[in-house]
Structure 1
Amino acid sequence: MARTSSNMIPLGTIAPNFYLKDTNSNYEYSFEDLKGSKGTLIIFMCNHCPFVLHVIKEIVMIANDYRVQGLGVIAISSNDIEKFPQDSPKMMTEFAFENKIDFPYLFDATQEVAKAYDAACTPDFFLFDGQNRLFYRGQLDDSRPGNGIPLSGNDLRSAIDALIYNRSLNETQKPSIGCNIKWK
């Protein structure tokens, strides 16, 4: 299990726009179509990564807790499906159904979106404010597969709360750690 850290791009970076197919609905969407009124959470993930499998229930809970408060939640898979067919759009649809993911799960076939965001690992979290500026990038929490730390989502939840409720955000943001994106 490779351990790759997310790239900590500068806060304030404007969210790159995209136009990708949602494997849940079969429609194509842009960032502008899916962004939330209070902010937008972009999650680069995939179906088979042990780090994603470890946190997927918490990701779904966070989406369910905050979408009603104006947060847009978007998952994107950018893995090479020729080398990793378990991450194909068909399998993404099944994964979403099995894990009760009812937010968009988009497929980045060209990997251009992952490159535009400088995504490095799965899961990789990017939280943008209502003006599409990067507010937080980093980890869900300190829990990792096998480290014995309970899953809480507190790093990401604290960032979302700070965004939604105009609270100060901890200056220290730890990178996410996961499997590397499977580049072509």
Structure 2
Amino acid sequence: MANTPSNMLLSLGTPAPQFWLKDTTTGTMLSFSELRGHEGTLVMFICNHCPFVHHVLEEVVMIANDYRVQGIGVIAISSNDVERYPQDGPERMAEFAFKNKIDFPYLFDETQEIAKAYNAACTPDFYLFDGEDKLVYHGQLDDSRPGNNIPLSGSDLRGAIDSVLYNRSLPESQKPSLGCSIKWKQPF
């Protein structure tokens, strides 16, 4: 199991990179503008096969359920190379979403251009934008990792979302997420 951290290259205050991607659960094309929340938007890069994603998924679904009703848009994107990792393909993404009760958009970034625009490095990788679509948090869910015996709490991400909702400042020093590397397509 690889331990790849977020690369933290997208500066705080950066406008959310826009996209137009296919939602694997509905088959429709959706944009950031359509999915954004009026209070803020959580964009996360995940995939089906990563043990780090499996470890945090139940808490991520709870966070989505807790905060969407408060005006936070929640979006998941998978950007992995499906030629080398077919288990991360769109059909399997829809199955994965259904099996894990993911009822927020799970989008497929086939060209990997969106992952590049966000400077995403790992799964899971979390980006939180405020109501003006400016990046305010790029970091970990919490300190729990597969096998480290720290219970899941979602404390870092929940704290960041609460800060957006209640107009509190966030620290500029944010702890990177850690997970499996995004599986980039190999040049021919």
Match of 1:147, SS state, is coil
Moved more, 9-18 or 107-116: 9-18
Look up the match of 1:6.
Answer: 6
Offset at 1:169? 1.9
- Structure 2 regions of 5+ residues with no counterpart? none
Give the whole-Å Cα distance in 1 for the aligned partners of 2:41 and 2:65. Answer: 13
Offset at 1:171? 3.5
Q: What whole-Å deviation, never above 9, does each CA across 1:87-108 have from its counterpart, x for those lacking one? A: 0000000000010000000000
Offset at 1:170? 3.2
Give the whole-Å Cα distance in 2 for the aligned partners of 1:179 and 1:28. Answer: 27
Which amino acid letter does the alignment assign opposite residue 140 of structure 1?
L
Look up the match of 1:19.
Answer: 20
Match of 1:92, SS state, is helix
- Structure 1 regions of 5+ residues with no counterpart? none
Give the whole-Å Cα distance in 1 for the aligned partners of 2:158 and 2:173. Answer: 14
Q: RMSD between aligned alpha carbons?
A: 0.6
Q: What whole-Å deviation, never above 9, does each CA across 1:51-108 have from its counterpart, x for those lacking one? A: 0000000000000000000000000000000000000000000000010000000000
Which amino acid letter does the alignment assign opposite residue 3 of structure 1?
N
Moved over 4 A (4+): none
Match of 2:69, SS state, is helix
Give the whole-Å Cα distance in 2 for the aligned partners of 1:160 and 1:56. Answer: 17
Which amino acid letter does the alignment assign opposite residue 19 of structure 2?
F
Which amino acid letter does the alignment assign opposite residue 5 of structure 2?
S
Match of 2:129, SS state, is strand
TM-score (normalised: structure 1): 0.99
* Equivalent residues in 2 for 1:83-94, closer than 5 Å: 83-94=84-95
Match of 1:69, SS state, is coil
* Equivalent residues in 2 for 1:73-84, closer than 5 Å: 73-84=74-85
Which amino acid letter does the alignment assign opposite residue 12 of structure 2?
L
Give the whole-Å Cα distance in 2 for the aligned partners of 1:123 and 1:133. Answer: 20
* Equivalent residues in 2 for 1:32-43, closer than 5 Å: 32-43=33-44
Offset at 1:155? 0.1
Give the whole-Å Cα distance in 2 for the aligned partners of 1:16 and 1:175. Answer: 19
Identity of aligned residues (%): 71
Aligned length: 184
Give the whole-Å Cα distance in 1 for the aligned partners of 2:52 and 2:32. Answer: 25
Give the whole-Å Cα distance in 2 for the aligned partners of 1:168 and 1:14. Answer: 18
* Equivalent residues in 2 for 1:105-120, closer than 5 Å: 105-120=106-121
TM-score (normalised: structure 2): 0.97
Give the whole-Å Cα distance in 1 for the aligned partners of 2:171 and 2:163. Answer: 9
Look up the match of 1:67.
Answer: 68
Which amino acid letter does the alignment assign opposite residue 155 of structure 2?
N
Offset at 1:7? 1.5
Match of 1:26, SS state, is coil
Give the whole-Å Cα distance in 1 for the aligned partners of 2:169 and 2:114. Answer: 30
Which amino acid letter does the alignment assign opposite residue 124 of structure 1?
D
